[in-house]
A and B are shown apart, each in its own frame.
Chain A
Amino acid sequence: GAVVSQHPSRVICKSGTSVKIECRSLDFQATTMFWYRQFPKQSLMLMATSNEGSKATYEQGVEKDKFLINHASLTLSTLTVTSAHPEDSSFYICSAPSASEGTDTQYFGPGTRLTVL
C-alpha cells in the first residue's frame, strides 16, 4: 500500500507557542489530504481537507485561524497549531487518498502526539 509519513511523531511545547506538523505522501501524489484529531478513547474527528493549490476546507467547529493548513505541493501538507493551549493536546493524524483497484483508498500517517504544557 501507499506510504504516508508525518513529522514530528511527538512534540511537547509550552502554551502559547505554535507547532507545525508535516504530512508527506512518499510514493504517490495527493492533491487532497485530510487532517484528523483524536482525543484519548474517542473516535477520529475530521478537522479539515487540505487541497493542493487552494484553500483548505474546514469542518464545522474547527477554527481555521488557529489550525493553519498549507498544501505546498502534491506530496506535502502542513498543519500549524497556532498559539497552542493545553486543550489542543491530542493525537493529530493525516491521511491521503491513493487510487487502488478502482477506488480511492485513504492511507494514514503514523500520527503526531501533541502535548501542550
Chain B
Amino acid sequence: QKEVEQNSGPLSVPEGAIASLNCTYSDRGSQSFFWYRQYSGKSPELIMFIYSNGDKEDGRFTAQLNKASQYVSLLIRDSQPSDSATYLCAALRTGANNLFFGTGTRLTVIP
C-alpha cells in the first residue's frame, strides 16, 4: 500500500465549476498535509497545507482534512483554465522531515 494515494485522473471540469481533488494516506502518524500544483515542465509550487481536522480556506482554495478517515481533499472554486495542472498531495510524518507524495491528479479546466 502506498503512503499517499491519489486518483491519477484526468479530471475535467468546466470553467467556473468547483474542482474536487482527493487524497488518502495510510500512516496515522502523518501530521501535516500539503497540496502542490505542478505545471507541465515546471517544479511543484505550494498551494497550501493543513494539519488540523476540518477546513482551511485560502482564496479560491479550500483544503479539508479528516484524520479519522485518513482523507485529505482540495477544492478549487470558480475553476479557471490556468488551474489546469497536476495536483500533488503530500504527507509529513511525525518525526520525519521528508514528504511522501502521491502520484498526482491531472486537472483540466475546460473554457
Binding site for B on A (CB under 8 A): 1, 32, 34, 43-44, 46, 49, 91, 93, 97, 100-111, 113
Contacts and interface: CB of A to CB of B under 8 A. Distances in A.
Contact of A44 (B44, B49, B51): B44
B69 interface: no
Interface stretch (B17-25, B60-68, B72-80, B94-102): B94-102
The 7 closest A-B pairs by CB, nearest first: A111-B43, A43-B103, A103-B32, A108-B43, A93-B43, A108-B44, A44-B101
A32 B42 CA distance: 22
A49 B99 CA distance: 11
B45 interface: yes
Contact of A104 (B41, B97, B101, B103): B97
Contacts of B36: 108
A43 B89 CA distance: 11
Contacts of A43: 88, 101-104
Interface string B29-46: 001101010000111111
A4 to B, nearest CB: 9
A105 B101 contact: no
Q: Indicate the member of B90, B98, B104 with the most A CB atoms within 10 Å.
A: B98
A103 B42 contact: no
